[in-house]
């Protein structure tokens, strides 16, 4: 447990140092790009579940989602990125910066389900992937509902 805490503190301090040099508009672009890539990957999984199932395609898409989920994307929510434009105007709500406890719970749930999706995809069981997609999608919706402004 101590080593996990130490690693987490190290990661936060390293990301803070690295992020000091990131322009707000770049941070917004990168997080928008990551979310778009995850959306594309979810649509690939959905297409396989609803159509002709290709285990390899599902594994690739699930691995992309897992990688982004575990990438430390929270570091892209820098001070000054609450407003501004990346590829488009940010729709991040103020609660991302003010309700850290709820955000942490939502992020942990998403990471858990993204990691589980990669495991389930590796089995090749289309029914299990469909069920896990619902769980993963639910965590996406929860975050969108609480932390993303509608257009």
Q: Which pLDDT score, from 0 to 100, does residue 21 have?
A: 87
Tens digit of pLDDT at every position of the chain (151 positions): 554 444 444 455 445 545 568 999 999 999 999 999 999 999 999 999 999 999 999 999 999 999 999 999 999 999 999 999 999 999 999 999 999 999 999 999 999 999 999 999 999 999 999 999 999 999 998 898 888 998 8
Backbone angle region of 66, left / alpha / beta, with phi > 0 → left and psi within -120 to 50 → alpha = alpha
Instruction: Quote the pTM value.
Output: 0.83
Give dist(CA 65, CA 140) in Å, integer.
11
Query: How far are the Cα atoms of 45, 50, 115, 140 from residue 53, in angstroms, in the given order?
Result: 9, 8, 20, 23
Domains (range + CATH), the chain: 23-147 (1.20.120.10)
């Amino acid at each position: 447990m101590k080593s996990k805490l130490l690693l987490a503190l190290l990661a936060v301090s390293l990301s803070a140092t690295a992020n000091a040099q990131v322009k707000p508009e770049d941070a917004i672009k990168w997080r928008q790009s990551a979310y778009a890539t995850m959306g594309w990957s979810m649509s690939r999984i959905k297409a396989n579940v609803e159509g002709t199932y290709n285990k390899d395609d599902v594994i690739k898409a699930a691995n992309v989602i897992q990688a982004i989920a575990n990438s430390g994307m929270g570091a892209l929510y820098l001070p000054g990125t609450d407003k501004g434009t990346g590829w488009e105007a940010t729709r991040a709500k103020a609660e991302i910066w003010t309700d850290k406890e709820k955000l942490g719970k939502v992020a942990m749930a998403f990471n858990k389900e993204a990691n589980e999706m990669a495991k389930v995809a590796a089995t090749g069981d289309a029914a299990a992937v469909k069920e896990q997609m619902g769980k993963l999608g639910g965590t996406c919706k929860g975050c969108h509902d609480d932390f993303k402004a509608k257009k």
